[in-house]
A and B are shown apart, each in its own frame.
Chain A
Amino acid sequence: MNPQLIRDLVALLGSTAVLSQPEDLMLYEYDGSVELGSPKCIVFPSSAREVSEIVRLANRYEVPLLGRGAGTGLSGGAIARDGGIVVVFSRMNRILEIDAANLRAVVQPGVVNLDLSRAVDHLGLYFAPDPSSQKACTIGGNVSENSGGPHTLAYGVTTNHVTGLELVLPDGEIVRTGGKNLETSGYDLNGLFVGSEGTLALVTEITVRLTRKAEAVKTLLAVYDTIDDTTESVFDITVRAITPAACEMLDGFTLRAVEDYVHAGFPKDCAAVLLIEVEGLTEAVEAQAAAIMEVCQLHRAREVRVARDDRERALLWKGRKEAFGALGRISPMYYVQDGVIPRTRLPETLRRIAEIAQKYDLQIGNIFHAGDGNLHPLILFDERDRAQFARVVQAGGEIMRHCVEVGGALTGEHGIGMEKNELMSLIFSPDDLALMARVRAAFNPAGRLNPGKVLPLGKGCGEIRIPHIPAPATTSA
């Protein structure tokens, strides 16, 4: 990179806010996905004005740039695919305002998701989107990826909880969309920017909705001897229009790995469990829990256990949220997918995944948001085994094509990034993609902001991109 650009950045931000030594850059080569990319420079701005100046410098020197929060993303959104500058928001981590009466908070993008919920806990409020990485991931990253989490089944994903943004556009202009009000007349630009994976603008401030904590919570663990009984239960819960706050499934293979690590209390000899949470008024929770128990028993659940207290409840959730990390203990590497299917197609889809695992002689674990049909098949592999790696790519492609065939989607919450952009044509027509490209060009005309993400480059042909030397497995989703 041009040394004069580094000098200009240091002059702008100070020497402690600019990294350009190779050993420092290495730390920013990866995120929570299996992707890699080498940035040339890392900067830590403290204000929107500084972000704007950084963008103007990048334009002057014609280098690409992208934003990054905690680097927990799962599709390579925060990876410098074409090198350039990575703008890390860790210094912009203040909660600027809490407006409890109007259920709003104004935060900087580097605020950690869980820190916001903790800051409003004493008011009986929280921030509803709860990705499994919520102890580390930032709200700026949540906005870019439109992150979900287990409880989005009842409460919606990030876009449902954002009312205003401050943005720095790829030309350096600082602009506000929306605000605290529920609606402003005009186009819903928040709806466009949330989930645009950092390709349209850098987010420098976010106004979010806060949610009142439920009066009562009940967490149920239903234990099954067959996968079919488990998926049929989810199907039946959906059909009966019971809406739990969360409905997560862990298959036997996965939960055995989790149990050895977390000791959450999952029975190790079962085929699968459902972790179901109901929330709301005490009276409603009782009625819902009873209805769910009835469904689970109808589908031959061996046991339906209700968490006795907060400690047991927290332990069950720890088992769920740290599951990916647990799998890292038993396999050198895994590849996690994020396809979505109509919920009624769950039983056949899990059977299909099992067939695919058998066909390619692979171990595939399933731990996912069953209630909204958001799969997370985890394909385990050892990157030193080249032949096995080729089978992983093929199996992943087959699972994804199945999701599309049954009317589903490529990603429910992890984003397209640089992992699935060549698959976009499975869902979208050339015209659909042309319009998306046109919208991107309207905001990011030089393509300098987060290049190589979301839209296909036309290099692969409907293939998932899994790089040849993957990074180590990390905890997430």
Chain B
Amino acid sequence: MSHSAQISLARLEEIVGAAHVLTAPEALALRQVDGILPSAVVQPADAAQIAEVLRFADAEKLAVIPCGGCTKLGIGSPPSRYDIALDLLRMNRVLAYDPQDLTLGVEPGMRIADLLRVLAEQKQFLPLVVSFLERATIGGIVAANSSSPLRQAYGGVRDFCLGMEFVTGEGMPAKSGGRVVKNVTGYDLHKLLIGSLGTLGVITRVNFRTFPLLPAQRTFVAGFSNAEAAFRFCGAITQSPLSPQMVEIANPGAADVIFSGDARARVEPRSWSVIVSAAGHPEVVDRYARELGGMAVAAGAEELAPLGDSEAPDILARIREFTRLILDAVPSAAIFRIGVLPTAMAGLLGELHALAAQGSVDMVALTRASGILYAALLPKEGDAPATASLTKAVQEVFRVCGKSEINASPMLERCPPEVKLAAGGVWGAPRPDFALMRRVKNSFDPNGVLSPGRFAGGL
């Protein structure tokens, strides 16, 4: 470690206490980002300590990456610099929960699974059932704008996040929004932090509205012989008065993951599956059972099968954990998250399958009918070295998404660092408003202290 880094260690220990500055190799390795190790892990207890750490880092020109459960450090471009991992796990409290008002304020280091347990005691929940559920923290979920299957019914983080407190790159504590369910007081700065991947501020508190658990829930599965038929069924649901909690379309590979838990299994290699969940009063759920069946058959399914109480939790958990299951089975997988309109989904999947059929990769795709498609490219088994073929496939996906009739917004969420570099980035073509993003970055973190280089365009 260099001389300056030794000085910084002493100062950091002064701020958070010696016990909360870690330099053991395993502590650093856990927080590696694309193979780059920090010099120290710093564990602040509160926003004031975070502000001091960031002011110090700003003065010393050190780069800081916030982290918690370390489940999303692989998302984004490789950082251009990385000195301090700011571990927020000590900040894991519920700061305010008013179940009667259905509002909540929580620290960033709280794990979502723990929070959902707290809410369940009051028969409430947050519609953030995300991958790595047991490890992922609120701060990471918000900063990565993680998507949940429940987005279909409840929207994304931006739709139920009421306000935030955070510390800017210069170490200035700030907030926006508030704690009430309706509020237009001041600029919605917190919306900028959602999905900002730790490049604008360190989140110190998030306020949410919570939702009541519904009395009954049932999940149904329909199998189709091709993508067009599966999306015909989804289109019919959109055109109907029904508003399900979740509509997920699994290509044959994804169906294997979801129904068997094995990313490499080939149970029903030709079947496209649509999984639909309905919730509400029992009479409402019965109505879904009646009407979804007719719609599925009309679209070409043989039948619509309700999942039994014994199998439903496992299958729903595998849909939720799709990303983790893929990465566990195939650590070198490249997983895209693609914003795409419903009418372009079948076309995009057709292109992706054509791409996979050229032979270099397998393609597993899980699509949220509301407009997000997860496509995992898996290098063929025994195909080593896979980097070249995977890189080529990744570049093809970006190209296909840019076709005018598809016009999708791809982001390569997970992929080996060497492919990130070889493929020319994970963020896709620069957005037309990139210059505005730079202005935002300069307002929050003018000196590039926070997660430098991880965001689109090197922000």
Contacts and interface: CB of A to CB of B under 8 A. Distances in A.
Interface of A: 99, 101-104, 145-146, 148, 152, 156-157, 159-160, 169, 175-177, 179-189, 191-192, 194-196, 212, 214-215, 235, 238-239, 241, 243, 280-281, 283-284, 287, 340-344, 369, 372-374, 407-416, 424, 427-429, 431-432, 434-436, 438-443, 454
A238 B101 contact: yes
Interface in B419-459: 427-428, 431-437, 439-444, 455-456
A411 B444 CA distance: 25
Given A101-B342, A177-B433, A185-B427, 20 more contacts: A101-B238, A146-B184, A152-B182, A157-B182, A184-B339, A185-B337, A186-B427, A186-B437, A192-B191, A195-B184, A283-B281, A283-B287, A342-B103, A411-B185, A428-B175, A429-B174, A431-B172, A436-B186, A440-B187, A454-B186
Interface stretch (B192-200, B222-230, B256-264): B192-200
Given A284-B281, A342-B103, A187 B195 contact: yes
Contact of B241 (A152, A212, A343): A212
Interface of B: 98, 100-103, 123-124, 145, 155-156, 158-159, 168, 172-176, 178-189, 191-192, 194-196, 200, 211-212, 235, 238, 241-243, 280-281, 283-284, 286-287, 337, 339-343, 370-372, 407-411, 427-428, 431-437, 439-444, 455-456
B128 to A, nearest CB: 15
Contact of B433 (A103, A175, A416, A440): A175
A443 B189 CA distance: 14
Contacts of B340: 181
Contact of A435 (B168, B212, B435): B168
A343 B184 contact: no
B384 to A, nearest CB: 30
A343 B181 contact: yes
A341 B440 contact: no
Nearest to A201: B436
Given A103-B238, A189-B436, A373-B181, A436 B342 contact: no
A257 B371 CA distance: 47
Contact of A439 (B187, B241, B243, B427): B187
Contacts of B235: 101
A180 B211 CA distance: 27
Given A416-B185, A428-B175, A241 B440 contact: no
A372 B343 CA distance: 35
Given A241-B124, A454-B186, A340 B180 contact: yes
Contact of B98 (A104, A241, A344, A436): A344
Nearest to B165: A432
Contacts of B431: 184, 186
Given A182-B371, A184-B409, A409-B183, A215 B241 contact: yes
B343 A101 contact: yes
Given A284-B280, A435-B168, A342 B101 contact: yes
A435 B186 contact: no
Contacts of B178: 340, 407-409, 427
B174 A432 contact: yes
Contacts of B200: 187
Contact of A424 (B186, B286, B435, B443): B186
A414 B182 CA distance: 11
- Quick one: which of A99, A148, A435 has the most chain B CB within 10 A? A435
23 contacts: A99-B343, A101-B238, A102-B341, A102-B342, A102-B343, A148-B184, A181-B409, A182-B372, A184-B409, A186-B427, A192-B189, A195-B184, A238-B100, A241-B211, A280-B243, A281-B241, A281-B242, A283-B286, A287-B283, A342-B101, A410-B185, A416-B185, A436-B186
A186 B432 contact: no
A403 to B, nearest CB: 9
Contacts of A194: 188
A219 to B, nearest CB: 18
Contacts of B410: 185
Contacts of A182: 156, 339, 370-372
- Quick one: which of A235, A410, A439, A443 has the most chain B CB within 10 A? A439
- Quick one: which of A184, A372, A412, A428 has the most chain B CB within 10 A? A184
A442 B442 contact: yes
